[in-house]
Amino acid sequence: MFLAALAVISALGTVVQRNPVHCLLALVVTLLTIAVIFIGLDAVTVGFLQAIVYAGAIMVLFLFVVWLLNLQAELRSVPGYLALKAIAGLLCAALVAELFVLLGYAPSAGGAQAAAPTDYGSIEALATTLFSDYLIAFEITSVLLLAAIVGAIALARRTPSSQAASAAVAAASARAGSQGGA
C-alpha cells in the first residue's frame, strides 16, 4: 500500500515538476518502486530485471540525453498552452473512465484464482517458459533489437558533421537496445 502510494506520487512528480532532471529522478523512483512491488509479489527475477534494465540502464541514458540536449526548466507557458491542457485533461478523464469500466468487468480478487506453483517467479521457471513456450517470440524479439541497433548505428554514422546531440540520441537508443537484448 505504501509502495503503491509512493509509486503514484513519484509518477505525478514525473509529470508535474518543471526541472527535467527532477522529473527524470521521479520516474526512477517510480520504476524502482514497481520493481520492489514485483519482488513483493514473488516475481523476484522480473523485479531485479526491472531495476537493472530500466532504473540502471535506460534512465541513465535518458539523463545523458537531457544533459546533452541542454534542456532548461520550463519557465513560462507557451502560447496555446491552455488549449493543450484542456485536451490533455479530457483525454485523461477518458482514460480513467475506461480503467473503471474495465475494473468493473474484472474478476474480483481472491475468487477463482489458480494457486501459483511453488517455483513461481524463480529464475528457473522463467527460463523454462521463455525458452520453450515462447521461444519463437523470444528469437524474433532479439532479431528485431539487432535490427534496431544496426539501424541506429547507420543513422548515427551517415551524418558525421551534424549536431552532436542527434548522434548522441541515436547512440543512446542503440545502447538501450543492446541492454534490453542482453
Partner 1 sequence: MLIDLLIEAVKAIIVVVMVLNLAGVLLWVERKGSALIQDRIGANRASLTGLGKRMGLPNFGLVNTLIADPLKLFTKEDFVPDGADKFLHALAPFLALFPVIITFAVVPFGDVVQIGSRTITLQAANINAAALYILATIGIGVYGVALGGWSSNNRWALLGGIRATAQMISYEIGLGLAIIAIVMTYGTLDLQAMCRAQGGVWFGFLPRWGICLQPVAFLILLTAGMAESKRVPFDLPEGESELVAGYFTEYSGGKQAVFMMTDFAEIVLVAVLITVFFFGGWQVPWLYRDGFHFPGGAHLWVPQLLVAILGLVAFMIKTVAFCWLQILIRWTLPRFRYDQLMRLGWKGLVPLGLANIVVTAIVVVLGSGAR
166 in contact with partner 1 (CB under 8 A): no
The CA distance from 108 to 96, in Å, is 19
Min dist CB 2 to partner 1, Å, is 19
Place of cell 509529470: 15
Q: In angstroms, how far is CA 71 from the centroid of its own chain?
A: 21
What whole-number distance in Å separates Cα of residue 117 and Cα of residue 123?
A: 13
Question: Binding of partner 1 at residue 168 (CB under 8 A)?
Answer: no
Helical spans, DSSP H, in 17-58? 20-40, 44-49
Q: How far is the CB of 55 from partner 1 (least distance, A)?
A: 6
* DSSP calls for 105-141: HSPPTTSSPPPPPTTTT-HHHHHHHHHHTTHHHHHHH
Site track 15-54 with partner 1 (rule: CB under 8 A), x = hit: ----x-x---x--x---x--x--------xx--xx-xx--
Between CA 26 and CA 63 the distance in angstroms is 12
Q: Taking CB under 8 A as the rule, which mask of x and - marks residues 107-146 in contact with partner 1?
A: ---------------xx-----------------------
Which residue, 91 or 129, is less far from partner 1 as judged by CB?
Answer: 129
Q: How far is residue 35 from each of residues 3, 42, 156, measured CA to CA in Å?
A: 10, 11, 33
Asked if 156 interacts with partner 1 (CB under 8 A), we say no
- Give the nearest distance from C-beta 20 to partner 1 in angstroms: 11
Contact between 65 and partner 1 (CB under 8 A)? Answer: no
* Interface residue with partner 1, options 55, 152, 156, 174 (CB under 8 A): 55
| Chain mean position to CA 117 | 28
- Binding residues for partner 1 (CB under 8 A): 19, 21, 25, 28, 32, 35, 44-45, 48-49, 51-52, 55-57, 60-61, 63-64, 67, 122-123, 175, 178-179, 182
